[in-house]
A and B are shown apart, each in its own frame.
Chain A
Amino acid sequence: MGQKTPQIYSVELNGAKDMKQTDKGDDKDKYRGLWSTCLELRKNHHKEHVTKEIDLGLSSTQAAELLARDGPNALSPPQETPEIIKFLKQMVGGFSILLWVGAILCWIAYGIQFSNDKSSSLDNVYLGTVLALVVILTGIFAYYQEAKSTNIMASFSKMIPQQALVIRDSEKKIIPAEQLVVGDIVEIKGGDQIPADIRLLFAQGCKVDNSSLTGESEPQPRSCEFTHDNPLETKNIGFYSTTCLEGTATGMVINTGDRTIIGHIASLASGVGNEKTPIATEIEHFVHIVAGVAISIGVLFFIIAVSMKYRVLDSIIFLIGIIVANVPEGLLATVTVTLSLTAKRMAKKNCLVKNLEAVETLGSTSIICSDKTGTLTQNRMTVAHLWFDNQIFMADTSEDHFKQTFDQSSGTWASLSKIITLCNRAEFRPGQERVPIMKRVVVGDASETALLKFSEVVLGDVMEIRKRNHKVAEIPFNSTNKFQLSIHKTDDPTDKRFLMVMKGAPEKILEKCSTIMVNGQEQPLDQSTAEAFYTAYMELGGLGERVLGFCHLYLSADEFPETYSFDVDAMNFPMSNLCFVGLLSMIDPPRSTVPDAITKCRSAGIKVIMVTGDHPITAKAIAKSVGIISANSETVEDIAKRLNIAVEQVNKQDAKAVVVTGMELKDMSEDQLDEVLTSYPEIVFARTSPQQKLIIVEGCQRQDAVVAVTGDGVNDSPALKKADIGIAMGIAGSDAAKNAADMVLLDDNFASIVTGVEEGRLIFDNLKKTIAYTLTKNIAELCPFLIYIIVGVPLPLGTITILFIDLGTDIVPSIALAYEKAESDIMNRKPRHKKKDRLVNKPLAVYSYLHIGLMQSLGAFLVYFTVYAQEGFRPSTLINLRVEWEKDFVNNLEDSYGQEWTRYQRKYLEWTGYTAFFIGIMIQQIADLIIRKTRKNSIFQQGLFRNKVIWVGIASQIIIALILSYGLGSITALNFTMLRPQYWFVAVPHAFLIWVYDEVRKLFIRLYPGSWWDKNMYY
């Protein structure tokens, strides 16, 4: 990884846009900002006089001026849509346009009425106002929900403000990093985040972690020498937002905020378009269906009405009624609530969803491109294997149970453990005695930390052992020596010898040895033992583990008396003929929950692709151990090795798995990548740069897959944005990644993604149920209008009453369906196909509209006719009564029994009819709610009482209806009247009929899967 050149870097960025275009001149053009920054860096480098100012720093006034000129040292957040635009979008999105049309038609109708007759009633004005209010209120509600979920994110990104130690007015001051300006002198030390792009002026043992910028995981040494023309390569530049791992440094700020390298990359990410979420597409599709139905029925009946010689004004009013009846006003708000409920549930399971719609996206995911480190693995080196006495021992690598079960009786182990303990510079931070060993914070690098924790668990108090074996000399590890050495006094007071312990790259250690310890006894190192060593070394290396060799030597007391002064530079001690003790291998082990999660993904039809910057062998080993590459599948190379033939001769179809390196990927064309992605079920991308992730994501998306991508680095942000759902790591993730992502994984754990997928799938199913439930009554609301126009009965259901169903009784029940449990194991079926498995499909629409919807209409009409008949108007009398019924000056309209009715008496009866129809729908919606609990299983399989919220919903329906009928019965504007109690039960038989009908439907679906019935009746 260390060899990565900036050219690759830019080419890859370019590749992200267009793989074929690698011309560098073009790069310069495209990323002029980036390059000019570099030039500026070089110029700065020659400003020698600056060094004088190190002690002085900038003066406060200078700094203030510069701050005013350059702005604060912070990345400007991605350009946000202005709040007002967001709000207006809610106002015109979805059904809102239709309702606005309805409202405006109302006002126009009133205008016409008013111009004809000054005393015309204000009904249409009220209706228009109510419709407008509905739009505005649901808009505000959706906006509020949206804003609330965005706020979670905002609070999240506002972590503890970064501080910087700066020299100003020749004093050291700690100021917020935001206030840094170009020219400030800052001091950094191990553990600090670098607060801006800085040029180092002093550096002592300084190493930085540039992984968030370049994807290199190795620590990079930094000094104050100018080593390369390219700012990304030269050693004397520290980058904003990278971390200083060890050492100290003083540097001058050369770029702040958006002008930093990371700022440039972050702004590149915003150039990658955000994909529309699948659920947004689905809802749009659904809105189109419903709007289509509404408009076509509306226009059709407008024409019918006009040709039936209705006045145009009346026809417009019919049109409004049809629109209002057809549009499920409350549904979009319900969907928002449902999604945010799920988002909350997911947040509890460590998936923080930034964008509500992403909740479902996770459910339809068909490919997950996952990082390895930290996501699949624990992100800490852990001792996995030991080799001594010619034997490989396994160590426990699970997260918390650190039970070591290997044989510890051998004398070799005693020696090995001593080396592990003593030849180690890592230390626990003090004051952590009560913290479990595995969770303690350690000062030191990853391998040493692993060894320290390992020995602490196995041997007990390591610091005490070290104290007893006083260290007299030490050579720390460096990359040229590839070993680490220390010399100690022993803890045996009778033994005056010094003990020299050493660890390092196994082959380097072996070179220095002439003997090997077996069962506590030193034996000469012969050919066969050396071979055994190499076999073990290769085996452990083949597992992708980092292997270290350990050796020691007791220095004779004669040659090295107690007073001997060791000189590590002169190396006045033996460096050969040492005694080899053993090998120890370490790996960043997989999280224990991951293999299960991967199995779940597999049965859920989700392909998991590992994308890592790590070495292919390590990547493959981890992939195998977590199951991304399953136990019995082989790569082309594996087959070649097994059959002992050349790789080219292997039939590629036999290989199920493939490991693709970044280098190979770079040479692939789009088609070749597509072929890899389609032909292998198990894929690992190793040694890839974060930029190549984008290429992989695009490749997956070309297969029509819904792609989830995990990422943490700044350079991941384009891929995170491009993915259907970008998942940023909450712990390891950079702010830029979190900004670009749709979801933040709070525990960085892959398994949490899988629980998220489960939730996402459940919500899709439940949204289907909610929509089916809501659409059903639309027919029952629409039919009254159609019958009214064609048959001429008094209007059975008023427009305002419809709104009370849509926004009153139906709201809680439709939300309650979100709490419904899954019908079967939703993780055992394939992810839904983006284009085939629609949220609202034909069976759903047909079954809801034409089956249950029509049954419901019949039931509601029954209640309506019953009320009219028992008051004196038989159904036969009602036909074509409309015109006389609505004439204001006809005050002696005769009913079926010869009684005469005034206009107001009729009107009151009409309202009673509305109430009756309303109650009829409400009662049947209870049945509808119950049947919608399942789509396939019998209600009795699902359990009638398992989802308590459903019953809350039913109670809310009844209570709202009771209040409307009996509580508000006297408020005439609402058109409700007191309804005789028995009318509440007229529709009950119909409700049961609906239930039975649906049970029969489900029974046939279960009995004859795949049949015509199944295909047309299962939604």
Chain B
Amino acid sequence: MWVMLQTLNDEVPKYRDQISSPGLTVFPKPVTALEYSFSVSKRESYEGYIEDLKKFLKPYTAEAQKNLRNCQDGALFEQKGPVYEACQFPLALLEACSGESDPEFGYSKGHPCILVKMNRIIGLKPQGKPAIECTGNSKGENTTTLPVYPSEGNIDLKYFPYYGKKLHASYLQPLVAVQFNYTASSTPKEVTVECKIVGSKNLKNYDDRDKFLGRVAFKITMRA
């Protein structure tokens, strides 16, 4: 056992074959399964989400990012070490969902923000121009594309590759925010949102068995 542990690399696991393509996850963390349910008029019903988002975005404040590098856009940021730097991800990119202009992330106005991110995988180098695309589907209505920030849901290549928790401690993941632009009505509004990665050949967004590989689906129930 000890011998086996000695053979392990501290920085990079030996194999990454079982996570060749990243999954998508959303924030705030829903309380049960993948459902968000709140009432616009009742702050306590969405306060948890806001807290969660604030907590999640803490490393993204200008203060926290001041030591990070301002990397060149549109290209992979490959490093040789021994010190590995992380690129800045200015919150401003999330525009209305950055929490800077609206500390309530749109929940109180009936336009809640959900953050979508790709799972971290060491050494992953996306090809093409990866972006996250989200569609919303409400009962009896057409499927619509939802607004995402940064524009077109772009994920910049400069945030890749990731070098692991130990070497790349200050690493910040790129985020995409999706905003819910339905108007709250008196009846509960139920929307199923599906987000998926597009624009990259080596990032899969469909798998028979894994419903979260390159995509994520969640439901928002909003009451007045």
Chain A positions within 8 Å of B, measured between CB atoms, are 858, 862, 865-866, 869-872, 874-875, 888-889, 891-892, 894-905, 908-909, 912, 972, 980, 986
Q: Which residues of B contact A901 (CB under 8 A)?
A: 19, 23, 119
Tell whether, in the assembled complex, residue B1 and residue A903 are in contact, meaning their CB atoms are under 8 Å apart.
Answer: no
A900 in contact with B1 (CB, 8 Å): no
Segment touching A, from B92-100, B135-143, B206-214: B206-214
> Nearest CB to that of B22 among chain A residues?
A900
Q: In the complex, are the beta carbons of A900 and B207 less than 8 A apart? A: no
Query: In the complex the two chains form, is A904's CB within 8 Å of B13's CB?
Result: no
- Complex contacts, A894 vs chain B, CB 8 Å: 120
- B211's partner among A898, A904, A986 (CB-CB below 8 A) is A904
| Residue B25 interfacial (CB < 8 Å) | yes
Complex CA distance for A897 and B162, rounded to whole angstroms: 11
How long is the Cα–Cα vector from A427 to B164 in the complex, in angstroms? 105
Contacts of B210 in A (CB 8 A): 902-905
Confirm or deny: B14 has a beta carbon within 8 angstroms of a beta carbon on chain A: yes
Q: Which residue of A lies closest to B14 (CB)?
A: A870
Tell me, in angstroms, the Cα distance from A200 to B212 when the chains sit together: 97
**Best-buried of A862, A874, A895, A899 by chain B (most CB within 10 Å):** A899
- Whether B62 sits at the interface, judged by CB under 8 Å, is no
21 pairs of residues in contact across A and B, judged by CB atoms under 8 Å: A862-B1, A870-B13, A870-B14, A871-B13, A871-B14, A891-B23, A892-B117, A896-B13, A897-B122, A897-B164, A897-B165, A897-B166, A898-B166, A899-B19, A900-B121, A901-B19, A902-B23, A902-B213, A904-B209, A904-B213, A905-B19
**Does any Cβ of A come within 8 Å of B75's Cβ?**
no
Return the contact of B15 from the options A870, A903, A908 (Cβ within 8 A).
Answer: A870
Is B212 a contact partner of A904 (Cβ separation < 8 A)? yes
B1-29 vs A, CB cutoff 8 Å, 1 = contact: the mask equals 10011001001111111110011110000
Q: Which residues of A contact B8 (CB under 8 A)?
A: 869-870, 874
Also in contact, A889 and B4, with CB within 8 A (given A899-B121, A900-B119):
no
Give Cα A972 to B122, complex, Å: 27
Q: Considering the chains assembled together, what is the distance between the CA atoms of A901 and B122 in angstroms?
A: 12
Chain A contacts for B207, CB-based, 8 A: 904
B5 CB → nearest A CB, Å = 7
A400 vs B155: C-alpha distance in the bound complex, in angstroms? 100
Contacts of B25 in A (CB 8 A): 891-892, 900
Are A875 and B22 interface neighbours, CB within 8 A?
no
Instruction: Establish whether residues B13 and A872, one from each chain, have CB atoms under 8 Å apart when the complex forms.
Output: yes
Q: Does B177 contact A (CB under 8 A)?
A: no
Known: A874-B8, A897-B165, A900-B120. A905 touches B15 (CB 8 A): no
Within residues 67 to 124 of chain B, which ones have a CB less than 8 A from any CB in chain A? Answer: 117, 119-122
Once A869-B5, A889-B34 are accepted as A-B contacts, the answer to whether A898 and B13 lie under 8 Å apart by CB is no
Task: Indicate which residue in A865, A895, A905 contacts B4 across the interface (CB closer than 8 Å).
Answer: A865
B4 touches A866 (CB 8 A): yes
**Known contacts A889-B33, A902-B210: does B119 contact A895 (CB below 8 Å)?**
no
B13 contacts A891, CB within 8 Å? no
5 shortest interchain CB distances as A-B pairs:
A898-B165, A902-B23, A904-B210, A900-B119, A872-B13
- CA A986 – CA B7 in complex, angstroms? 13
Give the complex CA separation of A902 and B13 in angstroms.
Answer: 17
B19 touches A898 (CB 8 A): no
Known contacts A897-B165, A902-B23, A903-B210, then 18 further A-B pairs from the complex at CB < 8 Å, ordered by chain A residue: A862-B4, A866-B4, A869-B8, A870-B15, A871-B16, A871-B18, A888-B33, A891-B216, A895-B13, A896-B165, A899-B16, A899-B19, A899-B119, A900-B22, A901-B119, A902-B119, A904-B213, A986-B4
Instruction: Determine whether the beta carbon of A875 is less than 8 Å from that of B5.
Output: yes
Given A869-B8, A897-B12, check contact A905 B18 (CB 8 Å).
yes
A898-B120 in contact given A862-B4, A869-B4, A888-B33 (Cβ < 8 Å): yes
Q: B181-221: which have CB < 8 Å to A?
A: 207, 209-213, 216
Distance of B7 from chain A, by nearest CB (Å): 8
Q: B23 touching A892 by the CB < 8 A rule?
A: yes
Contacts A891-B25, A904-B210, A905-B19; A899 near B13 (Cβ below 8 A):
yes
Could you tell me the distance between the alpha carbons of A875 and B210 in the complex, rounded to whole angstroms? Answer: 25
Q: Which residue of A lies closest to B123 (CB)?
A: A899
B30: Cβ under 8 A from any A Cβ: yes
A905 to B121, CA, bound (A): 12
Shortest beta-carbon distance, B15 to chain A, in Å? 5
Q: How far is the CB of A92 from chain B (nearest CB, A)?
A: 39
User: Which residues on B sit within 8 Å (CB–CB) of A858?
Assistant: 1
Which residue of the partner chain, among A874, A889, A899, contacts B30 with CB atoms under 8 Å? A889
A903–B212 contact, CB under 8 A?
A: yes
Bound-state CA distance A891–B34 (Å) is 11
Measured in the bound complex, the distance between the Cα atoms of B16 and A875 in whole Å is 17
Q: Name the CB-closest residue of B to A858.
A: B1
Contact in complex: A872, B16 (CB < 8 Å): yes
Q: With A865-B4, A869-B4 as given contacts, are A900 and B23 in contact (CB-CB < 8 Å)?
A: yes
Contact B212 A902 (CB under 8 A): yes
Residue of B nearest to A986 (CB): B4
Contact A898 B119 (CB under 8 A): no
**Identity of the chain B residue whose Cβ is nearest the Cβ of A904 in the assembled complex:** B210
> Residue on B with the closest CB to A875?
B5
Q: When the two chains form the complex, which single residue of B13, B17, B23, B34 contacts A897, counting CB atoms closer than 8 Å?
A: B13
A532 to B2, CA, bound (A): 95
Residues from chain B with Cβ under 8 Å of A872 in the complex: 13, 16, 19
- Rounded to whole angstroms, the CA-CA distance of A858 and B2 in the bound complex is 12
Task: Give CA–CA (A972, B209) in the complex, Å.
Answer: 10
Which residues of the partner chain B approach A871 to less than 8 Å between Cβ atoms?
Answer: 13-18
Report the bound CA distance from A891 to B33 in whole Å. Answer: 11
A888 and B216 CA atoms in complex are apart in Å by 13
Cα–Cα distance between A875 and B211 once the two chains are bound (Å): 27
The reply to whether B18 and A898 contact each other, CB–CB distance below 8 Å, is: no
* Most chain A CB neighbours (cut-off 10 Å) among B164, B165, B166, B212: B212
Q: Which of A892, A908, A980 neighbours the largest number of chain B CB atoms within 10 Å of its CB?
A: A892
Quick check: A891 and B119 within 8 Å, CB to CB? yes
A892 to B22, CA, bound (A): 9
What's the nearest-Cβ distance from chain A to residue B204, in Å? 11
